[in-house]
Amino acid sequence: MILAGPNRTKEIASYIEGYYFLIPWAPDMWVPFARRLFRSLKAGGRKACLVRNLTAIAFASVVLTGTALVPANAENPEIASRRAAERTDFTNEEIRDGFFKIAFRAELQLDAPAERVRKFDDPVRIFVISAGGRDRRSEIAAVVDDIRSHVDHLDVAVTNDPSAANFVVRLVQKRKFNSTIRALYGKERAKQIKQSLSPECLSGIGKDELFRIRRAEVILPVDAGDFTFYDCAYEEMLQALGAINDDGSVPWTMFNDDVQMGFFDVYDQYLLNILYDPRIRPGMTKEEVSAVLPEVLSTARTWVRNVNPPRHANSENPPGRSNQRSP
């Protein structure tokens, strides 16, 4: 992860599914917060949340998310079939309900609950590290372009300068996923994550005391098949932008155990466009968002309608429909 502050460790009391343990943590301004770390891409999967609390001067936090990938042969055709079957018409209440459930909540929070908006308020610059195996940096760049083109007011782009990045995507082979977690988060912490949650994709955010996201990290296996790669990439990257929670009661969002997309669906475009509207500020409460949501939602509807072409519009090579075949 991109570290901030002096390079020394802190011991953080953590909680996973009822168990306390100590974790070495490096950046002074980051404190773990809450997020689920497990997900099965098949029916019957479960989610779990990692919650940590530490008294620190900045009272910042880190959110960890994860997606457990089940081996599958689904590739481009599965993404195309899901895109064709996608529901695209939603009521205001359906969108509102999903936004409040996804953008505010967090699972198993140990410290005092703080249901606030969390988002970047600076340009997001993503540095992609290809650490072996198939080089899918160009595919991540296409995903980033796709997200940018569908979310108004979100300044996000890939950078080749690691010092300019506030968001890192690490592309690793499945067999090196666990060792990558150990290298980034420490042996004991990685051991507990593996034993309790068994994630195969991981993402995290670091926010400051004003609930502004300052750092984000995503770890993706490159050799899990096209469908699982894209499904994981879109979900984890969008969650790292602030769509943090998962909720099984929202059947149209990718932020749901039982829903897999592999592309940036229309419903979640509504959620991200609401989140990144300038009238929605980091740290806002539900009551504050409710006061401006009618106007914000109207703007989001216009944007989403205008940027989405007819369902059968031609596209030479959209993300998830690469001409390159998996080895």
pLDDT given for residue 319 in this prediction: 66
**Can you tell me which residue has the tokens 């990257």?**
237
Paired tokens of 43: 């029916």
Residue pLDDT, tens place only, 208-239: 999 999 999 999 999 988 988 999 999 999 99
Rounded-to-integer distance, Cα 93 and Cα 192, Å: 40
**Can you tell me which residue has the tokens 């997900």?**
39
Instruction: Kindly report the pTM of this predicted structure.
Output: 0.75
Element (H, E) at 215: strand 213-221
Paired tokens of 237: 């990257």
Rounded-to-integer distance, Cα 242 and Cα 63, Å: 10
Residue pLDDT, tens place only, 271-313: 999 999 999 999 999 999 999 999 999 999 999 999 997 763 3
Kindly give the parts of the chain with pLDDT less than 70. 1-76, 106-113, 193, 196-198, 311-327
